[in-house]
Chains A and B, each alone.
Chain A
């Protein structure tokens, strides 16, 4: 491989490097040594076993939502509503956990399924608004995000409020058997890891090897041509959104059944929006999603230690990741540079 080819290979790392430089500058501006800062960040993410587990536990819903988004993006859809779909998944799981009694395995499976169904339904509404009502999915999604959050608040302060009265926290803790089995004292469940890996594999397989995946790809690239080639745009669009919603809903389920133990006021807290950034930084490729999501999770978790150690605001982690995404969007225009092939990575174009 020639030097130029290596440079092309490594080019995607440039935004990462750039973001490190910019945040280093910020740290210096506040009188903190970047070594100390990033050291604290690393330690905060990986310093102890508990921290690693916590990073992994946060990684789960983020990755699930991002994997779903890859499918929606492939079909050319901006599923901003993913945040609301996470919330609705969480609400649906909570409903079963609070109101139903069954043997643990049955209850868990039911909770997972109902969460996926709720997320899919919520996404389906956005999609039908788009295909039937001509409402762009960004606007529909934003509206439904809001409704989902208001709905949660209503439930927490209304029908599902704890007997001692409404509090900031949320519902009463669910019974033990309604919750995912956890690894030790962590918030990570082996079950959610398995589900996430399964979801990633499914998305990879769908986009690589199935008719449906190819149809979505065609739809995302050129809806008119795809239609003429026989792709039913409306149906596939709705299905793509619903698929994304199902994975997001699953993420919501993980959030209430393992991260928390009850339905909380901000059950997602922007994980859906983070997932959008993850997908962009992952160049819309599902194989990169778990790694980028892990990076996000580590940086965000690590910035807790950064804040405690340096007494700087902990949004530094957020700044780091956002700057990275921004730089990727600015300079990493890989398709024009011709560094990567098509999204499925089928052919390498020599510009």
Chain B
């Protein structure tokens, strides 16, 4: 009776399981606990966007006594069709969360609803603009909802500058994800940084600089759905580009460039998003712009705990003197091993100029891609103008929509 035997076997298995579980209970209760939630769109170890937020949360736990983070990973309909932001927030609040970070623009609308449902809890919608008094969605946000974003365009300008210093063919390529305000502004900012440095340090005509943007369609490769970033990068290099800037979450740009470098070609890459991204191929890496959420998270958490938090739309500038200090700056730049000393010196000069305000790359005259005027001669772009950049700029090749 093999089946009866199995039945007995199961009974035998379940008894110790129950006994063990009875002994295992009992968690340690901490006093003076400050609980905050972090909702991630991807896995917490994605070596990109979500991991940066997770590490930001860890930074708070390390630096704030009594702080405890609750994380929910991979909240997206493809991975978890059954999960909703409301449901996750319900659980977090039930578990005592006083502050919740929702870390994707995908959560923007649902975060509004959650903030209305739990007025006593503070919500930070990362990369959103609902709490921006001058923004397009001004007035939408309840008072317990704030936004935080790092001023990544500045770092992208640095990245563009590094690329302009390194290029010999005068052809740069930008591997873009999908098209929206954020991605347009980042691609454009890198272009402006490149133009500035091509002119200032190389003494070349910036109008001769070729700058191609290809949007693959998503933040990472989805076979059959997006363009294949490996192939796109290969095409870039085949058509003469010698620096590839990445705007996507994954590492294809540096990986492919590295392979071509191994075959003796002179190519460089600038990855994106993750501090350690240069490790893929250090010798051709010019540097990496990255997000560093820890300091902002800590500041927000402390303010919420102290009861001094106020609604704000934060578009935080870098700590220019400490771009590689992860305790200080919300966004940063790390020099890559691929920079020569000469380039490094020029880049430092550029960074110092950006920091002091002497160098302003978002300055007229600038036209949009369709030829209409974006900034008049000498006009400096406002925050709104940069944030809501409607098209790519004149001189950039690639679709705006």
Contact = CB atoms under 8 A, between A and B. Distances in A.
Binding between chains A and B: yes
B124 to A, nearest CB: 18
Contacts of B24: 28, 31-36
Contacts of A146: 224
A206 B224 CA distance: 39
A197 interface: no
B84 A54 contact: yes
Contact of B80 (A17, A149, A314): A314
B14 A17 contact: yes
B81 A270 contact: yes
B13 A44 contact: no
Interface in A45-77: 47-48, 50-51, 54, 58
A153 B82 CA distance: 20
A259 B83 CA distance: 10
Contacts of B208: none
Interface string B50-84: 00000000000000000000111110111111111
A313 B43 CA distance: 10
Nearest to B388: A164
A50 B113 CA distance: 14
Contact of A173 (B14, B25, B81, B109): B109
Interface in B192-229: 217-219, 224-225
B20 to A, nearest CB: 6
Interface of A: 7, 11, 14, 17-18, 20-21, 24-25, 27-28, 31-36, 44, 47-48, 50-51, 54, 58, 146, 149-150, 153, 157, 164-169, 173, 185, 187, 259-260, 264-271, 274, 297, 300-301, 304-305, 307-309, 311, 313-314, 331, 337
Contacts of B76: 266
Interface stretch (B86-94, B312-320, B333-341, B358-366): B86-94
Contact of A167 (B18, B84, B106): B106
Contact of A28 (B20, B41, B72, B73): B20
A307 B180 contact: no
Contacts of A34: 17-18, 20-21, 24
Contacts of B95: 308-309
A45 to B, nearest CB: 10
B10 A264 contact: no
A165 B91 contact: no
9 contacts: A14-B6, A35-B24, A157-B217, A165-B401, A169-B105, A270-B78, A300-B82, A304-B83, A308-B71
A21 B17 contact: yes
B10 A271 contact: no
Contacts of A259: 84
B386 to A, nearest CB: 15
Query: Which A-B residue pairs are the 9 nearest by beta carbons?
Result: A269-B81, A266-B78, A33-B24, A165-B180, A34-B21, A266-B77, A300-B82, A24-B17, A269-B77
Contacts of B18: 24, 34
A265 B79 CA distance: 12
A35 B76 CA distance: 28
B14 A21 contact: yes
A246 B83 CA distance: 25
Contacts of A28: 17, 20-21, 24
B181 A168 contact: no
Nearest to A48: B90
Nearest to B11: A17
Contacts of A35: 21-22, 24-25
B179 interface: yes
Contacts of B74: 314
A274 B3 CA distance: 28
B178 A36 contact: no
Task: Count chain B CB atoms within 10 A of each CB in A11, A32, A51, A168 and give the residue with the most.
Answer: A168
Interface string B16-59: 01101110110000000000010001000000000000000000
A308 B25 contact: no
Contacts of B83: 301, 304, 314
Given A48-B90, A153-B217, A271 B81 contact: yes
A308 B77 contact: no
A79 to B, nearest CB: 19
Nearest to A27: B21
B104 interface: yes
Given A17-B10, A28-B21, A264-B77, 10 more contacts: A35-B25, A54-B86, A153-B217, A165-B179, A165-B180, A168-B105, A173-B109, A297-B82, A308-B91, A331-B3
